[in-house]
Amino acid sequence: MACDTDMDYSNSALPRRDKKKSLKIGLMYKFSPWEIPRHDVVFPVRFFGHVEILPDGSRKWVGGEVLKALAYDVPIPGYKTKNAISLRLWEAKATAEDFNLFQFNDGQYESSAQLHARAEQICAVLYPGDATEEGKLLRLKQQFFLCSASLQDMIARFKERKADRVSGKWSEFPSKVAVQLNDTHPTLAIPELMRLLMDEEGLGWDEAWDITYRTVSYTNHTVLPEALEKWSQIVMRKLLPRHMEIIEEIDKRFREMVISKHKEMEGKIDSMKVLDGSNPQKPVVRMANLCVVSSHTVNGVAELHSNILKQELFADYVSIWPNKFQNKTNGITPRRWLKFCNPELSEIITKWIKTDQWTSDLDLLTGLRKFADDEKLHAEWAAAKLACKKRLAKHVLDATGVTIDPTSLFDIQIKRIHEYKRQLLNILGAVYRYKKLKEMSAEEKQKVTPRTVMIGGKAFATYTNAKRIVKLVNDVGAVVNNDPEVNKYLKVVFIPNYNVSVAEVLIPGSELSQHISTAGMEASGTSNMKFSLNGCVIIGTLDGANVEIREEVGEDNFFLFGAKADQVAGLRKDRENGLFKPDPRFEEAKQLIRSGAFGSYNYEPLLDSLEGNSGFGRGDYFLVGYDFPGYIDAQDRVDAAYKDKKKWIKMSILNTAGSGKFSSDRTIAQYAKEIWDIKPSPVA
């Protein structure tokens, strides 16, 4: 969460999972010798309680329950440098004084250690399910715990380094500390920094606000409603009473500023204000609005996404602060996502461009373009890809028991399971492909491009439709993979337990990767960059970073389909008004599922979401039906291109050659220069 210009540490908005608790709840957690406990770095974090007004008129948060945040440091070495920083993690602890020995000896074992149990809950699971009130409260506690511990640490470091002149020098704080809010989850850093500066350090509102505003910046990662958090004012006031007061004051001053300085925007205040009381029974705090109002800079993570923020989501704020909004296209590290996970391809790249400096200067990959038609490079490139595919096939066999053919087209979609990412479109396409194969003669099948479709990812605990999609993929695979008439030409595999280590096997072995979200809904994506870097060709929509990837690798080396972002609203309106006419192929795929061909599970709720019963209140909100025919046509183009091996390998080479822009080195350098205002510190 923090970047400091001359303090060599980093605070992390991540909890350290307690090993004992992890074992109790059945999580696999291996001891890490790199986690160094810092028993000298402990901060109090308060919940509940009330606000007292002191004789001098100042306010202080007292009472409630107080946990301890214990620091753990993980050393993070640089690449080919002498530098290392510490990634600071936090563990929630209760003190020995919080254990009631009398209750324990009286047989009240659970009551005697309630605070210890509540402390363990905070670090047990990142992003706990929030379908219940208890889940919402735990998530809010987790967010605040991490924000408070990190901010207290930053202030302590600042005061330690400036001990001889900290008085009157708080104005230097923003030049030494930068707090980057990674989406809305750490938004509570804003009122917590204000509270610490005012209530603990004695600053007035204006000075504390100036410091906070110049310290905090906000990265928006999505336009999805569920990610633009809205917290109940009632829950917030109960758990964090002082912070609710501060948020109310921020909102009040923002509204007054708009009325006094931007009279023309007065009619927009209701949508721009932080506190939303439009439903008196459920008043909420709009966390994204609080971020925009309180940050000196707001950025999106791809050009298309940043434009949507400026033109749609935050358009009214742009009228007030036109220079506040920027774009910072995401990036990935080539050290992990090519050199480490794909050594075969890495050696070939180094050989042909005659340097290994591409690992820290990814633009050097453009040197491959002049060899894109070289037959020797083609042969080496194909051999490296085949080696990666064989490694992936072994992983699939070990993990699922399914045997896949390394000479088939490896078609992979791995990402969080969500309706907007449209794994449902992918599996419907596989269902349609299966149906067509079943209708073909033996001679016709000989002309088919054999394909292995792999889908992997995790679904949020309470996201029912996402779980149904996972179930459907598995059910389709169980039928297709055991059908002797078809399984030489099509396999469907759900990759279990998807994580970074699994991705390091999947991505190098991929040949086609699906990034098929509804246009305008994916902020950026980074797996698309990893796939392209590894010479994988993308089939996708003009969404997120796909737009920039297509520009960099060349339009001919990207399989494009689907509605554009500026068409989506009109297409949804047409759907509502009954103007949409589904493609017969779309209807065939749905009907085959309804027929029971893939088992007896009731998929009607999932299919209803495509027809008029979406959880978002409108049928087929994510335009699966509209984009289906274009998707099938694009897949036909994929089949044709893959048969031309020379053409396909050239496309693969040019994808790698065009990936230079998507290095995280470039991204972080832009953040440092254009948002954090820090300069590199070279080490001789």
Q: What angle do CA 65, 289, 186 make, to 5 degrees?
A: 40
Spatial distance between the Cα atoms of 447 and 433, rounded to a whole number of angstroms: 14
Q: Pick from 231, 235, 194: which is nearest to 47 by CA?
A: 235
Spatial distance between the Cα atoms of 599 and 593, rounded to a whole number of angstroms: 8
Contacts of 342 (CB under 8 A, 6+ apart): 384, 388, 507, 508, 534
Candidate list 157, 385, 415, 661, residue with the active-site label: 415
Candidate list 328, 421, 433, 572, residue with the active-site label: 421
Helix (H) / strand (E) element for 454: namely strand 451-456
Give, in order, the Cα–Cα distances in Å from 614 to each of 581, 587, 609.
18, 17, 4
Strand ordering across the sheet containing 2-4: 2-4, 177-182, 216-219, 298-300, 325-327
Burial class for 292, CB neighbours closer than 10 Å (0-12, 13-18, 19+): buried
Give, in order, the Cα–Cα distances in Å from 515 to each of 47, 388, 462, 559, 561.
42, 21, 24, 10, 11
Phi and psi at 454, nearest 5°, equal: -120, 130
Candidate list 93, 243, 305, 530, residue with the active-site label: 530
CB 433 within 8 A of CB 638: no
* Pair of tokens at residue 130: 């929030």
- The helix, strand and coil proportions of the chain, stated in percent and rounded to the nearest 5, come to 50, 15, 35
Spatial distance between the Cα atoms of 546 and 531, rounded to a whole number of angstroms: 12
Pairing of strands 216-219, 298-300: parallel
Spatial distance between the Cα atoms of 216 and 295, rounded to a whole number of angstroms: 5
Residues 451-476: b if buried by 16+ CB within 10 A, e if exposed: bbbbbbbebbeebebbebbbbbbbbb
Sign of dihedral through CA atoms 483, 484, 490, 494? Answer: positive
- The verdict on whether 415 is a catalytic residue reads yes
Candidate list 212, 329, 526, 667, residue with the active-site label: 526
Spatial distance between the Cα atoms of 471 and 477, rounded to a whole number of angstroms: 10
- The length of the chain is 684
Candidate list 60, 221, 394, 647, residue with the active-site label: 221
Task: Kindly give the residue spans of alpha helices, DSSP state H, lying in 240-320.
Answer: 241-261, 269-272, 287-294, 303-308, 315-320
Give, in order, the Cα–Cα distances in Å from 365 to each of 25, 321, 374, 547.
46, 38, 16, 20
E-only strand ranges, 94-240:
177-182, 216-219, 230-232
* Pair of tokens at residue 498: 């998807």
- The verdict on whether 526 is a catalytic residue reads yes
- The verdict on whether 354 is a catalytic residue reads no
Give SS3 for 274: coil
- The verdict on whether 421 is a catalytic residue reads yes
Calculated CA dihedral for residues 518, 519, 521, 527, nearest 10 degrees = 80
Q: Pick from 232, 212, 30: which is nearest to 136 by CA?
A: 232
CB 309 within 8 A of CB 298: yes
Calculated CA dihedral for residues 145, 141, 122, 139, nearest 10 degrees = -130
User: Under the phi-then-psi rule, with left for phi > 0, alpha for psi from -120 to 50, and beta for the rest, what region is 186?
Assistant: alpha
Q: What angle do CA 89, 90, 92 make, to 5 degrees?
A: 160
Indicate which residues carry an active-site annotation.
221, 415-416, 421, 526, 530
